[in-house]
Amino acid sequence: MERTTVGYEKLRNYVADMLEKGLGYSREAAETGAWVLVEADARGHASHGAARVELYHNLIAKGKADPHGQPEIVSETPVSMVISGNNGSGFAAAKMAMERTIEKARQSGTCMTAVRDSGHFGMAGVWAEMAADAGMMGIALTNTIRAAIPLFGRERLLGTNPICVAIPRGKKPHFMLDMATTTVAMGKVEVAARRGGTMPEGWFVDENGKDLCDAGRALEIARLGASPYGGIVFLGGSGETLGGHKGYGLGLLVELLTAGISLGAPTFDAYSERCGICHYFQATRLDLFGDSGAIQEHVEYILEKLRSSPKAEGHERIYIHGEKEYERRMKSLEEGVYLDPATWKKLDEYAALFGMPRLEP
């Protein structure tokens, strides 16, 4: 039988076993990591899903990540924290940070948390969503591995530096903007390379600033270090005409809110001796601004006005951010999580390496 989908819980348990038995994470950290990775696959974002096991294995094997590192609070006030991930699981650091951030926000109205010396924390959306599930506005930001070039530059110095903001509307799905500040996430370049080797024009430029559509070559440049030059461009592209300076500004803002205020490693220093990734989280109670229920109803009124507005020719629906992922997740829970052939192959390779049985549908 061809393998295409697998049950959500089965995949989650399998990935947790892989992270624990194969990579050495504690069971708690492994289960957190599996939840985040499988949520990404379930929502249709293979770039941040189970195939990421390869990244974590490589980092641990090279001594750049410590599966036993435990996050700890190094500074705090009633409305803020700084947490060190101690070079351990980015999932564990993010979970601790967001849970504590929500606790403090319940007490004080809001809380802002900066995390340094962490690791890849998966899809930003799951963390901001935790606050929205608690009836609060949530924010999750992170810097990343070198992938993007500053506007009018040549060298990869910044990451894809995603932004996620979640606002509850009284029912699910929440409004949830989860986006890279670059034209595309680096993981999607990897997916393009796995699936066929080509990518759209406008995602990536080569060492000379020319558009590059060969995803395999892009990976050689950005992941394998074939050149320090060339990389993903920020939203708006490689010039100012379509707003490249705006995307670049957003990416730099994320860099300063994560690495800057945490005194952590900026993207261009991350993944050298250690991962060193930095995050920023925030949770804010809606009742700071008035009646929480009324605010959520008003948010929904605004969103529904957009949804129900006239559609462009050839289009039947106007989406609100977060709806596509929510609907894909519901389908995955009912029909199984779809994994592309390249992801099945990757999981088979690591199952063999870790002495685990092959995952079956």
In this predicted model, what pLDDT tens digit does every residue of 195-241 receive, in sequence order?
778 899 889 999 988 889 999 999 888 876 778 899 999 999 988 99
- Asked if 80 contacts 111 with a C-beta cutoff of 8 angstroms, the reply is yes
Task: Provide the residue ranges of all domains of the chain, joining segments of one domain with +.
Answer: 5-62+328-354, 72-183+233-288
DSSP 8-state secondary structure symbol assigned to residue 142: E
Cis before 173 (ω within 30): yes
Residue 1 has pLDDT above 70, yes or no: no
Q: How many CA atoms lie within 13 A of 7 on its CB side?
A: 5
CATH class of 5-62+328-354: mainly alpha
Mean pLDDT across the stretch 279-304? 98
- Determine the Cα–Cα distance for residues 159 and 144; give it in Å rounded to an integer: 5
In this predicted model, what pLDDT tens digit does every residue of 307-346 receive, in sequence order?
999 999 999 999 999 999 999 999 999 999 999 998 999 9
In this predicted model, what pLDDT tens digit does every residue of 109-156 receive, in sequence order?
999 999 999 999 999 999 999 999 999 999 999 999 999 999 999 899
Residue 264, helix vs strand vs coil? coil
- Determine the Cα–Cα distance for residues 328 and 265; give it in Å rounded to an integer: 35
Strand partners, 139: 165, 282
Does 72-183+233-288 match 5-62+328-354 at the fold level? no
Residue 273's nearest CA partner among 84, 117, 100 is 117
- Determine the Cα–Cα distance for residues 237 and 234; give it in Å rounded to an integer: 6
- Asked if 237 contacts 202 with a C-beta cutoff of 8 angstroms, the reply is yes
Residue 232's pLDDT is what?
94
Share of the chain above pLDDT 70, in %: 99
* For the chain, the helix, strand and coil percentages under 3-state DSSP, each to the nearest 5: 45, 15, 40
Question: Which fold is adopted by the domain 72-183+233-288?
Answer: Ribosomal Protein S8; Chain: A, domain 1 (3.30.1370)
Residue 17's nearest CA partner among 121, 58, 25 is 25
Residue 125's pLDDT is what?
97
Residue 1, helix vs strand vs coil? coil
- Determine the Cα–Cα distance for residues 345 and 6; give it in Å rounded to an integer: 14
Residue 121's pLDDT is what?
97
DSSP secondary structure, 332-359, as one string:
HHHH-EE--HHHHHHHHHHHHHHT-PPP
In this predicted model, what pLDDT tens digit does every residue of 247-257 receive, in sequence order?
999 999 999 99
- Determine the Cα–Cα distance for residues 266 and 149; give it in Å rounded to an integer: 14
Kindly give, in sequence order, each residue whose CB lies less than 8 Å from that of residue 113, ignoring residues fewer than 6 positions away.
Answer: 80, 81, 82, 83, 97, 98, 100, 101, 280, 281, 282
Strand partners, 148: 158, 232
In this predicted model, what pLDDT tens digit does every residue of 42-95 receive, in sequence order?
999 988 999 999 999 999 999 999 999 999 999 999 999 999 999 999 999 999
Amino acid at 279: H
Q: Is the pTM of this model over 0.75?
A: yes
